[in-house]
Amino acid sequence: MRARSFHFTAVALLVFLSGNSLAAETSDPFATDARLPLKPSLRLGGAIGDPCEGVSSEKTLGLMEVVNLALCNNPQTREVWASSKVQAAQLGVSQAGYLPSASVSASGSRNSLGTNQRAIGLTLSYLLYDFGARAASLENARQLLAAASATQDGTVQSLFLAAVQAFYRTRAAAAALDAALESERAAQHSFAAAEARYLAGAATPADKLQARTAWSQAILARITAEGNMKKAQGTLANVVGLDANRTVALEAGESKIGDENFEHDVALLIEQAKRLRPDIQAAEAQLKAAEASAEAVRAAGKPSISLSASSNQTSTGGISSHGSSLGVSVSVPIFSGYAPTYRVRAAEAQVEAKQAQAERIRSQVALDVWTAYQNLVTSTQALRTSADLLNSAEQSERMASGRYKAGVGNMLDVLNAQSALASARQQRIQSALDWNISRATLAQSMGNLDANLLQGLATTQEKITP
């Protein structure tokens, strides 16, 4: 009877411990999820709850909706979010090293003489001191989580910029197509006018042929613009996490620009970028993680002190025995074939590599800000000039067409004026595109590309007409 009772107790204990272990697999006793960065999204208006709930591509989208859809739906953000959760879990693994461990064992056997033997044991152990190896491992996990969070921020910034670029390029492609259609209609009208004058005997066959050639060229330009529009739409769909053949409907509206007047000290911008850029923060966290890892490797070659306790009960042939122990153990590594020496050398070399990487990234950030700033200066000047160019080209085309219709001009002047107007329209569209993208690129190079920039573009706007 005692043997059966002992067996039942052992099974019940194992079932109880296994149930607790399975429950612990889905819990978060160290609250590591609280250390995770926010799930990628715009979080407009301080929204609470899941900011991606209700985000859809089935409606017409503005710039902010496109960016939010990209952040919520693109696989890149889900990938970096999952990587951050992996590092948060690894932090929990390191924190677990500060708690005691317990294990239970049970066995049963029957020998050739028909004697049953059963045993159950419980063992507890706790690491008392290890010369900082445990603390270094915990610091390594903390810094790797910080690096993962910064990497996520960097990915969000890059995807944010890609969504802004895709939005404006799609808008620019639509405007370029409209401009090409307008140029095609103007060329067709010129051909009709030349043909009418030719039939009336007031124009030469050369005028008609030149007008026909210009019309054909306008048709080819329109076909190219249609192809560019399709490619821009495919890129936009890809950025927001859809297949390239899916069409994302954008809200009707003109290309927009914000305040063209700005003055900044580029040196201050570079210093600000070095404080804000996620890739610098990630590199610095990885450097600290490498330093902590090196400390852990050094401590691994030193003694460790542990506390252990055990209790066991054995039943053989109906006779039970019980034993227990409590003690302190000291483990002193003596010789491991020089492996610890080379582990330390490898860890120290890794620290040097991370230091060089951090310096390289700081230098690249300075170049990114400088390049983005100069591009914005250039695109701002080009935007101002393109407005003047478009205005003068429109006046020239109206004058040349009016003179030809009045019978005092020639077809070559009309075609040249229409060609110049078509070029001015495209340059105006391209200048507006470059300005919007340059501003977003400068913000991204500084590490502060966020919803405020989009809202700024939405509040101070100027119509850019093709």
pLDDT per position as a tens digit, 379-406: 999 999 999 999 999 999 999 989 888 8
Query: Residue 37 domain-assigned?
Result: no
Closest by CA to 253, choosing from 426, 65, 69, is 65
Query: Residue 362 domain-assigned?
Result: yes
Closest by CA to 410, choosing from 203, 222, 132, is 203
pLDDT per position as a tens digit, 179-226: 999 999 999 999 998 898 888 888 888 889 999 999 999 999 999 999
Average confidence (pLDDT) over 313-322: 82
Q: Cβ distance 215 to 223 under 8 Å?
A: no
Average confidence (pLDDT) over 117-127: 91
Closest by CA to 180, choosing from 386, 402, 422, is 422
Query: Residue 413 domain-assigned?
Result: yes
CA atoms within 13 A on the CB side of 389: 20
What pLDDT band is residue 49 in, cutting at 50, 70 and 90?
low
Query: Residue 5 domain-assigned?
Result: no
Backbone torsions φ then ψ of 53, nearest 5 degrees: -70, 130
Strands in 389-450 per DSSP E: none
The amino acid sitting at 287 is L
Closest by CA to 242, choosing from 48, 56, 20, 453, is 56
Note the pLDDT of residue 47: 54
Q: Cβ distance 333 to 302 under 8 Å?
A: yes
Query: Residue 269 domain-assigned?
Result: yes
Q: CA 456: distance to chain centroid?
A: 22
At 423, which CATH number?
1.20.1600.10
Q: Is the pLDDT of residue 10 over 90?
A: no
Alpha-carbon span 72 to 242, nearest angstrom: 12
One DSSP character per residue, 344-376 reads HHHHHHHHHHHHHHHHHHHHHHHHHHHHHHHHH
Cβ neighbors of 1 (< 8 A, separation 6 or more) are none
Closest by CA to 81, choosing from 160, 162, 149, is 149
pLDDT per position as a tens digit, 85-120: 999 999 999 999 999 999 998 888 887 777 788 889
> Which residue range is the domain that position 434 belongs to?
57-97+133-303+340-459
Note the pLDDT of residue 220: 97
What pLDDT band is residue 12 in, cutting at 50, 70 and 90?
very low
What average pLDDT does the chain have? 86
Report which listed range, 18-32, 175-189, 259-273, is most confident: 175-189
Closest by CA to 243, choosing from 255, 231, 234, is 234
Task: Give the DSSP H or E segment for 147.
Answer: helix 133-199
Show the tokens assigned to 172.
């620019």
Show the tokens assigned to 410.
């020639």
Query: Residue 329 domain-assigned?
Result: no
Query: Residue 245 domain-assigned?
Result: yes
Alpha-carbon span 195 to 201, nearest angstrom: 10
Cβ neighbors of 387 (< 8 A, separation 6 or more) are 428
Q: If you ran DSSP here, which 8-state letter would residue 248 be given?
A: P
Alpha-carbon span 423 to 436, nearest angstrom: 20
Query: Residue 326 domain-assigned?
Result: no
Counted domains in the chain: 1
Alpha-carbon span 37 to 71, nearest angstrom: 14
Alpha-carbon span 388 to 395, nearest angstrom: 11
pLDDT per position as a tens digit, 325-368: 999 999 998 888 899 999 999 999 999 999 999 999 999 999 99
